[in-house]
Amino acid sequence: MDTDVLIVGGGPAGLAAAIAIRQKGLGVTLIDSRTPPIDKACGEGLLPEATSALRDLGIELDRASAAPFAGIRFSDGNFSAAARFSRGMAFGLRRTALHRLLVDRASEAGVPVLWGTRISALHSAGAWVNGRLIRYRWLIGADGRHSAVRRFAKIGSTRGRSRFGFRRHYAVAPWTDLVEVHWGQRCQVVLTPTGEREICVSLFTADAHRRLDRALSQFPGIARRLCDARPVSAEAGAVTSLAGARAVTRGNVALVGDASCTVDGVAGQGLSLAFRQALALADALARGNLALYQSAHQRIVRTATRMTRLLLLMNSSATIRRKALRLFATRPALFAKMIAVHAGETPSGSLRAAGILSLGWRVLCA
Ligand SMILES: Cc1cc2nc3c(=O)[nH]c(=O)nc-3n(C[C@H](O)[C@H](O)[C@H](O)COP(=O)(O)OP(=O)(O)OC[C@H]3O[C@@H](n4cnc5c(N)ncnc54)[C@H](O)[C@@H]3O)c2cc1C
């Protein structure tokens, strides 16, 4: 055996899994076809659950490394509702900066990484890499939403309706300490602070041809704020959807991060889920029982999936969106509870979390 665990994919999920597995004392090798720092279109917000999981991985975010935010505001031009996190810290930071932190921590933990390396073939006991067979006990697919490892393990996936996410950074001091989600006609613009003088603006839409500049005309308040701000990155895009693998383990293969499930980017939860899955996966591997990971994964994604369905319902129906925004604005305590569930302050999968979400759901659909 060359390594206990071979991880394919060195994005946030793969690196987090590698660190967590090393922390359990197992040997791990990681492979990624790209070279760092790896960028990707992302809203770049880390909810308190993500920062707490990062702490468990040995990465402590602070004001020097990231831009803190204190809660979330929803608005649609008519109604606005805001809620502050009651526990934990949330941060925005550029995707490349997050990747650098994870790469440095993986190196400190002693993870051998083969960057710019492709796997030419996978077998149940080994993978051909650069003309050499790497034998492993477990194989982890952390290779994103189009996972080759998932295909290799013959694990099917559910298909959600795809949307498109675009993001660009602007040199402007954040005007609020909240992440703002602005709801428009079948699209959302999300503003996340990523520095003392920088924000990340993301657009979520089902229209592949829509771009930030055109979309911002629907949001005159944001357009006014950004009119003098210099864009400091190119507009980048990615496909996003609510979808998942039909199973997250098969034999000696496990999936983590977007390879195992994706929630629509507007939920801002993909990274929290990936880091928490990585910790659960390491725990299961240390006990030599991947079934533990399958059940932990279900618990981890359950609430995020329900919350995302609610957000997508607000996206697709103008009536429900208006009703929801009015409800949140007039019942701030309900909105605060939903944000607490969303941010992981009410443990996901708990009866209380499920109760709060179904209350919101029932009120909206009544
Ligand atoms: C527009 C948008 C906005 C988002 N905003 C947020 C947000 O604000 N907060 C949040 O928490 N989440 C957000 N998300 C979700 C988050 O970006 C993802 O959940 C996260 O990137 C998942 O990380 P990952 O490591 O699983 O996958 P990826 O980041 O896709 O990494 C996969 C890695 O695998 C490598 N790879 C792929 N195939 C192979 C192969 N065959 N061999 C070797 N390597 C391979 C790739 O090079 C890549 O490095 C957003 C998503 C989108 C699309």
Cα–Cα distance measured from residue 42 to residue 39, given in angstroms and rounded to the nearest whole number? 9
Q: Where are the beta strands (DSSP E) in 28-131?
A: 28-32, 45-46, 67-69, 71-75, 80-84, 90-92, 113-115, 119-122, 126-129
Rounded distance from Cα 9 to ligand 1 centre (Å)? 9
Strands 253-255 and 178-184: unpaired
Q: Is 100 in the pocket of ligand 1 (CB under 6 A)?
A: no
Q: Is 14 in the pocket of ligand 1 (CB under 6 A)?
A: yes
Rounded distance from Cα 14 to ligand 1 centre (Å)? 10
Cα–Cα distance measured from residue 187 to residue 207, given in angstroms and rounded to the nearest whole number? 9
Q: Is 13 in the pocket of ligand 1 (CB under 6 A)?
A: yes
Rounded distance from Cα 11 to ligand 1 centre (Å)? 6
Q: Which among 296, 294, 324 has a CA at the least distance from the CA of 75?
A: 324
Write the single-letter amino acid at 40: K
Write the single-letter amino acid at 95: R
Place of tokens 């609430």: 303
Atom of ligand 1 nearest to the CA of 260: 26
Q: Which among 275, 297, 346, 345 has a CA at the least distance from the CA of 55?
A: 275
Q: Is 76 in the pocket of ligand 1 (CB under 6 A)?
A: no
Indicate which residue's Cα is closest to atom 5 of ligand 1.
43
Q: What is the pLDDT along the chain (366 residues), one digit of tens a residue?
A: 699 999 999 999 999 999 999 999 999 999 999 999 999 999 999 999 999 999 999 999 999 999 999 999 999 989 999 999 998 899 999 999 999 999 999 999 999 999 999 888 888 779 999 889 999 999 999 999 999 999 999 999 988 889 999 999 999 999 999 999 999 998 999 999 999 999 999 999 999 998 899 899 999 999 999 999 999 999 999 999 999 999 999 999 999 999 999 999 999 999 999 999 999 999 999 999 999 999 999 999 999 999 999 999 999 999 999 999 999 999 999 999 999 988 888 765 565 666 666 766 666 666
Q: Is 268 in the pocket of ligand 1 (CB under 6 A)?
A: yes
What does pTM read for this prediction? 0.96
**What does residue 201 show for φ and ψ, rounded to 5 degrees?**
-105, 120
Helices and strands, number each (H, E), in the chain: 11, 22
Rounded distance from Cα 184 to ligand 1 centre (Å)? 26
**What does residue 364 show for φ and ψ, rounded to 5 degrees?**
-65, -40
Cα–Cα distance measured from residue 161 to residue 258, given in angstroms and rounded to the nearest whole number? 15
Atom of ligand 1 nearest to the CA of 45: 8
